[in-house]
Amino acid sequence: MLRSIKPGIVILVAALLLAIPLVVNAGETLDSVKARGYLIVGVNGGLFGFGMPDEKGVWRGLDVDTGRAVAAGIFADPDKVKFVTLTTQTRFTALQSKEVDVLCRNATRTLTRETELGLNFVAVNYYDGQGFLIPKKLGVKSAKELDGASVCVLPGTTTEQNVADFFRTNKLTMKPVVIEQNTELNQAFFSGRCDCLTSDASQLAGIRAVAPNPDDYMILPDIISKEPLAPAVRHGDDQWRDIVDFCVLAMIAAEDLGISSKNVDEMLKNESPDVKRFLGVTPGNGKALGLDEKWAYNIIKKVGNYGEVFERNVGEETKLKLKRGLNAQWKDGGLMYAPPFK
Amino acid sequence: MEPAIISIPATEEIKPPITGIGVIGWVRKNLFTGKFNTLLTLLILFAIVKTVPPIIRWAFVDSLWSSQSQACKEAAGACWSVVTNNIRFILFGFYPYDQQWRPIAAIALLVGFIIYSHNRRRWNTKLLIAWPLGLAAMGIIMYGGIFSLPEVETEKWSGISLTLLLAIFGLSAAYPLGVLLALGRRSRLPAIKALSVVYIELIRGVPLISMLFMASVMLPLFLPEGITINKILRAQVAIILFTAAYIAEVVRGGLQAIPRGQYEAAEALGLSYYQKMRLIVLPQALKTVIPPTVSILISAFKDTSLVVIIGLFDLLKTTHVTLSNPDWMGFSNEAYLFTSLIYFVGCFFMSNFSRRLETQLKT
């Protein structure tokens, strides 16, 4: 029953979104956030490593820390932020109806979301892509050998569509096994109800880690889709968009410049003009954004640079054990590339 | 003449055959009469022997109660550690960690109130006044802001506190509203009657999930700029409106079951509409419909778990989030068994209470 009514609701909501003229004045969002005294960020709530409360009810994750960074940039305090849990269905409406100021909920940037849904995605905070997890005994080395396979997949996201597209493009057949919840999906896969499981690559490592015997499973090297996950804001307030954009970029730039939460105080004395401008020793950036000159210093000091945030939430030391890969700095062969802060 | 002493030999008590009395007799009489019954008994016995010992082994003998997740993965039995290690998050969610004695205190107060009110002889005006005061006290304990208790916004109320909040306020507000709607539907005033009919049919025509979606997704779009209604309140109102429509129809059934004579007698006594309903009709009607009302209340209590789909952290959602942690992924049986035990206690209490009420009221 649940599944049959969902598409109807999504269409209805989308129609409503299109019908509502969005009147937002530049600068309005920052003013209302400041007047309120805290930032409201929409997050996933159940995605380990990206947005999930720990056993003490404290929010943890890459998306959560991105939200904290924006709060630190505005208020010099990463805790002046409230997290609101949003489902796949409610996430974009919550942003439109101003229930949240920023959406950091592992949302893929796409053309229609940016245009028809009236969202502005900012700098990407995680480059993901869809892959396959298979049992080794299947004896398959590439996704193209998966002809006729039954595929465990979650419904309603871009994942389901991507895998169908991939099989069609390569003239292969597949049997989708659609299961609503992550935990049930994993168990179905481990108990052998399907030949392979498809999901974002960032999830596959974690799923493999919880297998009864992780060594029996492997992740295929093929990545079949591009999933640039980025925070999003509403159309119509360019100043707010710039602030959120550069708060994310500041974490990336800091890693590039060699500034981390541990050495940021020493770096204040650094002679490099780039570092001086970045940390607000040479003023200008803060005024241009409408923030305090210390905004980037506060983000790095209180939240950390991108590398630190990555390692803390999803890196090799965590349960997800993700490598930097596409998310390494451009110098190291990744895609993380911040524009000059001047 | 000496009276002859006649000894009458004690009549020998003939005992029924050993196979006809006691345990053996009972077993023969109840379990092994006829071929069909014998076969059934043996089959069921076989099933019990096959299933019960493994379940007990899994749940109690081989189980782990307080270990880390790694030990759990190697254990053969149940991993109750998933519950014990995360119990505070499952029960209280985002409620600040060092303040969690407050929901415990509020729930203890609530349980105390319920146990005290369980006995019908204690029902009086004082108790009627004490209930709202008690609920207000629970709210103050939870919300804080006075008596040097730090303030905790309702967004942080989660886990069992949220489930109980939605259930108790939902059910206690829906019941009177439902009774009013039932009376409205039987009213002779056309406007009131039409409104009640439209309301009841409209609400009964949509699933609760879509009501929750409307409340959480569409309502904010219609509100004027800058006005946001608390998310929990929106869900709460949706649950109340939904349950009330169902209660209304049950109560209407009760009203129709009251013979016309009762209405006419009340009118003959010169009672006003209000007196007639309060003194004659409703006491009989509501008593008759206790069983269906309770089943609606029970299903409404379980339906509160649907708020997960709008991102509220009720008991089921906190359990679910715990299971998303890679440490505890895969121990869903244990975690969900624990959650269902809590729901069962709540539901069983309600149905048990209604049975007692029925006997006492001699329906």
pLDDT, average across residues B98-118: 84
Q: Is the pLDDT at B77 greater than 80, yes or no? A: no
For the record, the structure tokens of B219 come out as: 């309502």
Asked if pLDDT for residue A65 goes beyond 60, the answer is yes
State how far the Cα of B155 lies from the Cα of B95, in Å rounded to an integer: 9
pLDDT at A97: 81
As a whole number, the mean pLDDT across chain B is 84
- Residue A336: count other Cβ atoms within 10 Å of its Cβ: 26
Query: In whole angstroms, how far apart are CA A77 and each of A294, B72, B235?
Result: 12, 39, 32
Structural domains of chain B, ranges and CATH numbers in brackets: 153-361 (1.10.3720.10)
A134-150 pLDDT per residue, tens: 998 888 888 888 888 89
| Residue B119, φ and ψ in degrees, nearest 5 | -85, 125
Which one is predicted more confidently, A87 or A109? A109
Q: Which residues of A touch B311 (CB under 8 A)?
A: 45, 84-87, 90
Give CA A315 to chain center in angstroms.
15
How does DSSP classify residue A331? G
Q: What is the rounded average pLDDT of the residues A29-47? A: 90
Please tell me the total number of residues recorded for chain A in this structure. 342
Question: Are the beta carbons of A91 and A186 closer than 8 angstroms?
Answer: no
pLDDT value of position A19 = 47
A87 has a chain B CB within 8 A of its CB: yes
| pLDDT for B261 beyond 50 | yes
So what's the pLDDT on residue A230?
94
| B311 with A210: Cβ contact below 8 A | no
Q: Does A21 touch chain B (CB under 8 A)?
A: no
pLDDT for residue A2: 42
**pTM as predicted:** 0.79
Contact criterion met (CB below 8 Å) for A114 and A121: yes
Which residue ranges form the domains of chain A, and what is each CATH number?
Answer: 2-127+229-332 (3.40.190.10), 130-225 (3.40.190.10)
Least confident of B42-56, B132-146, B296-310: B132-146
Single-letter code of the amino acid located at B21 = I
The three-state secondary structure class of A176 is: strand
Residue A290 Ramachandran class (φ > 0 left, ψ -120 to 50 alpha, else beta): left
What residues of A are in contact with residue B85 (Cβ under 8 Å)? 55
pLDDT score for A21? 43
Residue B180 CB partners (closer than 8 Å, separation 6+): none
High-pLDDT (> 90) share of chain A, %? 46
pLDDT at A20: 46
Nearest-by-CA chain A residue for B220:
A97
Q: Is B327 helix (H, G, I), strand (E, B) or coil?
A: coil
Confidence of residue B14 (pLDDT cuts 50, 70, 90): confident
pLDDT at B229 over 80: no
Instruction: Flag whether pLDDT at B242 surpasses 60.
Output: yes
Backbone angles phi, psi at A218, to 5 degrees: -145, 155
Q: How many CB atoms lie within 10 A of CB B275?
A: 12
Pairing of strands A196-200, A52-53: unpaired
Closest CA to A234 of A320, A117, A129, A332: A117
Helix (H/G/I), strand (E/B), else coil: A293: coil
Structure tokens at A51: 């947005």
Quickly count: other Cβ atoms within 10 Å of residue A108's Cβ.
19
Q: Which of B317, B358, B360, B316 is nearest to B339 (CA)?
A: B316
Tokens representing A113 are: 């979301």
Q: Does A45 touch chain B (CB under 8 A)?
A: yes
Is-contact A205 A131, C-beta < 8 A? no
Strands A232-234 and A130-135: unpaired
Percent of chain B clearing pLDDT 90 (strictly above): 14
Q: Which of A107, A67, A109, A62 is nearest to A84 (CA)?
A: A67
State the pLDDT at residue B137.
83
Residue with tokens 């800091």: A254
Alpha helices by DSSP H, A195-272:
201-209, 238-257, 264-267
**Out of A164-173, A201-210, B342-351, least confident range:** A201-210
The average pLDDT across B16-35 equals 78
The CA distance from B154 to B131, in Å, is 21
- Reported for B268-272, long-range contacts at CB under 8 A and 24+ positions apart, including other chains, are none
Mean pLDDT of B110-131: 80
Strands (E), chain A: 39-43, 52-53, 59-60, 81-85, 102-103, 119-121, 126-128, 130-135, 149-153, 174-178, 196-200, 217-219, 227-229, 232-234
A11 has pLDDT over 60: no
Rounded distance, CA A121 to CA A116, Å? 13
ipTM value greater than 0.90 = no
A6 has a pLDDT exceeding 70: no
pLDDT at A1 over 70: no
Mean pLDDT of B321-344: 85
Size (chain B), residues: 363
Contact yes or no for B220 and A99 at CB 8 A: yes
Using alpha carbons only, how large is chain B's radius of gyration in Å?
29
B92: nearest CA partner in chain A: A57
Q: Which residues of B touch chain A, with CB atoms under 8 Å apart?
A: 73, 85-86, 88-89, 92-97, 155-156, 158, 207, 209-210, 213, 216-218, 220-221, 223, 225-226, 228, 231, 309-313, 320-327, 329-330, 332
Residue A159 reports pLDDT greater than 80: yes
The pLDDT-based confidence of B197 (bands split at 50, 70, 90) is very high
Chain B residue with CA closest to A59: the answer is B94
Cβ–Cβ below 8 Å for A2 and B209: yes
Residue B226 has pLDDT above 70, yes or no: no
> Is residue A112 predicted with pLDDT exceeding 60?
yes
pLDDT confidence tier of residue B3, bands split at 50, 70 and 90: low
Contact call for B93 and A53, based on CB within 8 A? yes
C-alpha distances in Å from residue B145, one per residue of A133, A337, B162: 51, 46, 19
Whether B179 contacts B330, CB under 8 Å: no
* Contact criterion met (CB < 8 Å) for B309 and A56: no
* Residue B180 pLDDT greater than 90, yes or no: yes
pLDDT (mean) for A311-321 = 87
Pairwise CA distance, residues A174 & A281, whole Å: 59
Q: For B273-331, how does the pLDDT look when each residue is reduced to its tens digit (9 = 90+)?
A: 888 888 888 888 888 888 898 888 898 888 888 888 777 888 888 888 888 887 777 78
